[in-house]
Amino acid sequence: MKQFSIAFLIVSFFLATADARAQVTVRRASNSGHANRAATRTEAKMRLPSPSLAGTVHIKVVWNKIFGLPPAYLGASEAYPSPCGLFIISIYNMGGKVVSSERGTFTTERIDGFERYVCSYTVEALPKNERLAVTATFPASRDLETVPWISVDDVGAIPGIGQERVLNGARVITLTDELAMANIAFRVQYETPRVSEN
């Protein structure tokens, strides 16, 4: 349930890519031998390493300061010393996970009169001309979705009844030579979990 939106994004991503592959297979089956050889050459070309794996994604995880900071451990009165290490940034392509990063830079910023916490990550050397799914999740080993976080005044440090923390902002992107960099922001929010219809 906690990972419903992430799983849905990745499944949709894979289904769309699988559909595209099926269309290529149909075209190849109906073409002549010459076309088959051309398609084979094209596929071989696509499998070669890109001469410049220079795709970069800058990722931010942001949340209102009033939400507080994750605790060092369940029931702790002090915050986790490096909160950015608790957000798992993952990037997938059709073959599976390309990279996963748990390192980030922690800052506080003020926007429109409100202070918020920010974890910034940079993921480099990503493949170009491929559909990439970018996600942010909480670690499975900790219940950061519902437990109280550490806040100066405890206001907003725990989700309301029936709610939990979610990381919104999962995206599917394609990096190219013309657009080799992308910026993505995830936001920690309080939401009512989606209920499966099964």
pLDDT tens for each residue of 60-98? 999 999 999 999 998 899 999 999 999 999 999 988 988
**Average pLDDT of the residues of the chain:** 79
**pLDDT tens-place string over residues 6-16:** 544 554 554 45
Domain for residue 45, yes or no?
no
Is residue 87, in this structure, part of any structural domain at all?
yes
In a domain, 95, yes or no: yes
Residues ≥6 apart with Cβ < 8 Å to 68: 79, 148, 149, 150, 151, 152, 154, 156, 157
* pLDDT, position 103: 82
Is the pLDDT score of 31 beyond 50? no
pLDDT for the residue numbered 198 = 54
**Is residue 27 one of the residues assigned to a domain?**
no
Q: pLDDT over 70 for what percent of the chain?
A: 71
| Buried-exposed string 33-50: b where 16+ CB fall within 10 A, e elsewhere | eeeeeeeeeeeeeeeeee
| Domain enclosing residue 135, as ranges | 50-191
53 vs 130, more confident: 130
pLDDT at position 155, please?
81
With cut-offs at 50, 70 and 90, classify the pLDDT of residue 99. confident
pLDDT for the residue numbered 41: 42
Establish if 89 belongs to a structural domain.
yes
Sheet holding 96-101, edge to edge: 96-101, 88-93, 131-137, 171-174
Q: What is the CATH number of the domain that holds 162?
A: 2.60.40
Asked whether residue 22 is domain-assigned, the answer is: no
Task: Give the pLDDT confidence score for residue 195 in this predicted structure.
Answer: 67
Higher pLDDT, 25 or 193: 193
Look at residue 115 and tell me if it is in a domain.
yes
Domain count, the chain: 1
* Residue 138 · residue 189 · CB < 8 Å: no
Structural domain includes residue 17: no
